[in-house]
Amino acid sequence: MSRIGKRPVSVPAGVTATLADGRLSVKGPKGELSIVTHDDISYAVEDGRISVGPANTTRRARDFWGMQRTLVQNLVTGVTEGFTKTLEITGVGYRANAQGNTLKLQLGYSHDVDFAIPEGITVKTPDQTTVEISGIDRQKVGQVAAEIRRWRKPEPYKGKGIKYRGEFIFRKEGKKK
């Protein structure tokens, strides 16, 4: 029995959810998102709520139940509020600058890194050491943040690199004298 899956997803005012042709579509003020429905899961859209439940008693249906409910919740949250990830850049001379559809990163390499921003994602740089990635699709926002972070992961000695806001970097002690 899934504790997460049991709770229905509430659909706020101004958001419409439709279930047709094997797709659950949610349309709201920020845009429209949809997912492909799973055969082992039953979906019901009724009076301002989306209910998710197992379609049969198989182990696979029970395994997917909570995850599918979370995906539906992410659709509703995405079209109403959106998702944001913040990256912090630490290091001497390390900086970022958003220019149109590219993010220019200076990360200590002999060349600048030009990162192409995908469609549906907005990137802001409030200052040179902060990058804010936002969009309506949670998976896409997280993927873009991970791809940017991959250019210079934080190292454990001085902590230089790109890290998520709130991420703890376990620092090593270094050589003893």
Q: At what angle do helices 138-149 and 59-80 cross, to 10 degrees?
A: 80
CB neighbours of residue 139 within 10 Å:
12
Bridge partners of 85, per DSSP, are 133
Three-class SS state of 131? strand
Beta-strand ranges (E) seen in the chain are 9-10, 16-20, 23-28, 31-36, 41-46, 49-54, 83-90, 95-99, 102-106, 113-116, 121-124, 130-135, 161-164
**Nearest Cα to Cα of residue 74 among 66, 83, 65:** 83
Structure confidence at residue 1 as a pLDDT band (50, 70, 90): low
Give exposure, 24-47, as e/b (b: 16+ Cβ within 10 Å): bbbbbeeeebebebbebbbbebee
**Nearest Cα to Cα of residue 88 among 150, 166, 146:** 166
Residue range 8-66, pLDDT digits in tens: 999 999 999 999 999 999 999 999 999 999 999 999 999 889 999 999 999 999 989 99
Above pLDDT 70, what percent of the chain?
Answer: 99
CB neighbours of residue 136 within 10 Å:
23
Structure confidence at residue 177 as a pLDDT band (50, 70, 90): low
Q: Which helix (H) or strand (E) holds 144?
A: helix 138-149
